Structure 1
Amino acid sequence: MSQLANREISIMTIPLSALDLVVAESNRTAVESLDATRRTVLRLDELGYRRVWFAEHHGTELSASVVPAVLMAHFAAPTRRIRLGSGGVLAPNHAPLAVAEQFATLATLHPDRIDMGIGRGPGTFDGSIVRALRRGGEPTTGAEYAEDVAAILRYLSGEGGVQLLAGWRPDARGASPWLLASSPASAELAARLGLPIALAHHIRPDQSVATAERYRELFTPSRWADQPFVMAAVETVVADTDEEAARLARPTDVARSKQTSAALLSPEEAASYEIPEETRGTVEAIGASQARGSVETVRRRFAAIVDQTGADELMLYASVYDADARIRCYELAAKAVE
């Protein structure tokens, strides 16, 4: 067993959450994509998932998740208990005060239900969009990003010298801050600030163990967390059989191999696409490191990822074409931890 997992963890008790990118599917509109997410979020709430997070992506045909705070506010209203969060709000694109105001407002409207996952990426590969978001500013340095995160936390803690909204007071029911981590460098920042981390295993699985180890090694307790807490984001495709799961996962492999932001193909469309030789090894390696297969196969994959990373929670990313199939995936994933 990994040294990270020297405490007793049962896969049968690991909490499950979800990451929703409002995936745009081929031949479907933004209205249809957002409605699919609505149906998915409502079902996640019924199934007892702990939280659902939304990403900040710009200028892409693959995702209609652009402004996490708007989606959080919208989906908090019809749900009963699930936490809503950003996975993440990208600090370099926004003034720290604006981020703090948004999340203080959300937490006031929905106490004990708001997470603020903070990340660094631009959320786009389009340089003109980056410049527009940042009002002509250049990409931030690591030091500038760290200061932006620290500034957001100061505002939320009431130590920023600004009243975020009339009558507001910081308390334990406010927005819960997290840091997205895909490398030991981001883990070091989270550890220094005493934040829980969302480990980007679905993007950089080769960095997961080193990132989690570095985080636990350096963690300093804070007002936000008294001990380290790791939530691992895992691409998850569950079906009745391993073969069916592989069929459902094929569109994601094709999207990864093409290295474009085009809309997600249907399994039938993806079946006719040949993955280029130059990307095949990488695509297969990433897929093998995730959780794909039948309930029993996914149960073993969850256990392996928890063992490797010491994760306290799993955040599932079901990149599956069609809302019904995606919801079925989350239903079966829940059975994997029963």
Structure 2
Amino acid sequence: MRVPLSILDLAPVGRGQTAADSFATSVAVAQRAEQLGYERVWYAEHHNIPAIASSATSVLIAHVGAQTSTIRLGAGGIMLPNHAPLLIAEQFGALAAMYPDRIDLGLGRAPGSDEATMYALRRNPRSAETFPDDVLELQGYLTGQTRVPGVEAIPGKGSNVPLYILGSSLYGARLAAALGLPYAFASHFAPAALEAALAAYRAEFRPSEKLERPYAMVGVNVLAVDNPDAARAQLQSIRRARAVGLFGRRFGLGSLDASDEQADEILAAGAAPHVDEMLTYTAAGTPAEVRGFLDEFLRLTDADELITVHPAPDAEDRLRSLTLLAETMEPATR
């Protein structure tokens, strides 16, 4: 089965690295993806996470856009409750003016952070409750049909930046269906509701001016390597990083300063089942093994597009993974 292949780049910061190193790798990833025929590269809004450098999402998109030519770039996603819809319309309207027909805007309602960070963002804990209305307000600014009399997004008005609803539960699936928008499910880290969410999205979908039929995108981790031993080593590194990132504070450890031995202790102390559940949809191995896993994943989901996450700890390994994946899956471009 041939479907478009895309990338979610979390802009990771590894041990001994800086944000500048991460951004340089993001440029290299996007350039390689463009050469290989990937559909799009998305960046996610996260805050107060030392191992992720994509907090200023629109700034990162602008940086990568200046060093690529054709590949679509966007947010996967902007956590809209953190922002006024007008500001996001202006930011992505500006990006669309810089890079015509290349910008996407995926929207989520999670905070992308913890409670203390929510406070630092001046985020109202109840702001997620207005997410559907905020999406419609944002859509109005981008289409030039503002819902706030006398207020326009400049730039942004009439840019028609395409919107996508992101989610890991039935909530986002049903909202995307009701609004007639594409839906992207975060199965690369929250797999539990994947099948139920896709079923709800397709069953409840209402055609819109933007989309005639459901368009489902699904996330999957990919560790494509030249030999199986490398896949096992990379997967163990990812398990350690996830364990420290999720539970390290309980042990007084930061996500970038824990040793492998300390990470293994956290896994053994009870983190392993949670981490492994998050990694349920991970294609790891040689190109043939990865292809076999993804063929089964596509049969399970009937997805219209794969959003691949290449979480290998080393930048060269990430570039190698997306190269091997493209060679074995032959990305279908539209």
Q: Show the counterpart of 2:293.
A: 301
Deviation by residue 1:16-56 (Cα, 9 ceiling, x = unmatched): 11011110101111111211212211111111111000111
Deviation by residue 1:158-207 (Cα, 9 ceiling, x = unmatched): 111433226x6526xx3111010211111000100111011111121121
Q: Show the counterpart of 1:151.
A: 137
RMSD: 2.1
CA distance 1:109–1:124, shift in 2 (3 Å) = same
Contact 1:45–1:82 at 8 Å: present in 2 too?
yes
Q: Show the counterpart of 1:218.
A: 204
Task: Pick from 97, 101, 106 the counterpart of residue 86 of structure 2.
Answer: 97
1:326 and 2:326 aligned: no
Q: Show the counterpart of 1:131.
A: 119
TM-score w.r.t. length of structure 2: 0.89
CA–CA distance in structure 1, aligned partners of residues 256 and 24 of structure 2: 16
Q: Shift of residue 269 of structure 1? A: 4.1
CA–CA distance in structure 1, aligned partners of residues 31 and 217 of structure 2: 22
- Comparing 270-279 with 64-73, greater Cα deviation is found at 270-279
Deviation by residue 1:118-144 (Cα, 9 ceiling, x = unmatched): 01111111x232123236x224243x1
Q: Show the counterpart of 2:158.
A: 170
CA–CA distance in structure 2, aligned partners of residues 290 and 257 of structure 1: 16
* 3-state SS, counterpart of residue 112 of structure 2: coil
TM-score w.r.t. length of structure 1: 0.88
Q: Shift of residue 299 of structure 1? A: 0.6
Contact 2:93–2:157 at 8 Å: present in 1 too?
no
Alignment of 1:1-338 (within 5 A): 10=1, 13-125=2-114, 127-134=115-122, 137-142=124-129, 144-160=130-146, 161=149, 162-165=151-154, 170=158, 174-258=160-244, 259-260=246-247, 262-263=254-255, 269=260, 273-274=264-265, 275-338=267-330
Amino acid at match of 1:287: L
CA distance 1:264–1:334, shift in 2 (3 Å) = farther
Aligned residues: 320
CA–CA distance in structure 2, aligned partners of residues 152 and 313 of structure 1: 25
* 3-state SS, counterpart of residue 121 of structure 1: coil
* 3-state SS, counterpart of residue 23 of structure 1: coil
Amino acid at match of 2:125: E
CA–CA distance in structure 2, aligned partners of residues 271 and 299 of structure 1: 34
Gaps of 5+ in 2: 249-253
Contact 2:240–2:263 at 8 Å: present in 1 too?
no
CA–CA distance in structure 2, aligned partners of residues 301 and 247 of structure 1: 19
* 3-state SS, counterpart of residue 111 of structure 1: coil
CA distance 1:140–1:333, shift in 2 (3 Å) = same
Q: Shift of residue 265 of structure 1? A: 8.2
Q: Shift of residue 91 of structure 1? A: 0.5
Gaps of 5+ in 1: 1-9
Amino acid at match of 1:196: P
Q: Show the counterpart of 1:4.
A: none
